[in-house]
Amino acid sequence: MRDLAIRLENRPGALAEMGEALGRAGVSVEGGGAFVFAGQGIAHFLFEDTVAARQALEEKGIEVLEDREVLVQRLHQDQPGQLGKISRMMGEAGVNIEVIYSDHQNQLILVVDDFEKGQAVSEMWRRGA
């Protein structure tokens, strides 16, 4: 799985056009979100096949800004403070979390500035550190 950062026009129907282009190409969105900041639409979506996703988007004239690896993590939903704990571990390792969202399996998706360090922290988390 990989994250695509996508620039969307800040107007009615822009997100629908993106979704329709992906649908026509048979590409499924596995998680993510979109928002408007300073008048500009930005989306981060998770895909199994970013090559097909990028092609479908670019053919529609939708700009793909980045294609990045993600860390996929399962939090213990019954324990309050999980987000703070994993975020603290990343911060103490010098890893900046740049994007965070959930996928359709309720897993935490993290896009970080240093994937290798983040991967090491993620592995410690899995082992229960």
What number is the average pLDDT over the span 91-120? 96
Query: What is the predicted pLDDT for the residue at 129?
Result: 59
CATH fourth-level superfamily of 2-69: VC0802-like (3.30.2130.10)
Sequence-distant (≥ 6) Cβ neighbours of residue 59 within 8 angstroms: 21
Query: What is the predicted pLDDT for the residue at 123?
Result: 95
How far, in Å, are 60, 65, 127 from residue 19 at the CA level?
11, 17, 37
Query: What is the predicted pLDDT for the residue at 128?
Result: 83
Angle between helices 82-92 and 115-126 (to 10 degrees): 130
What number is the average pLDDT over the span 93-116? 96
What number is the average pLDDT over the span 5-26? 97
What number is the average pLDDT over the span 104-112? 94
Q: What is the pTM of this model?
A: 0.91
Distance (Å, whole) CA 1 – CA 13: 27
Residue 21 has pLDDT above 90, yes or no: yes
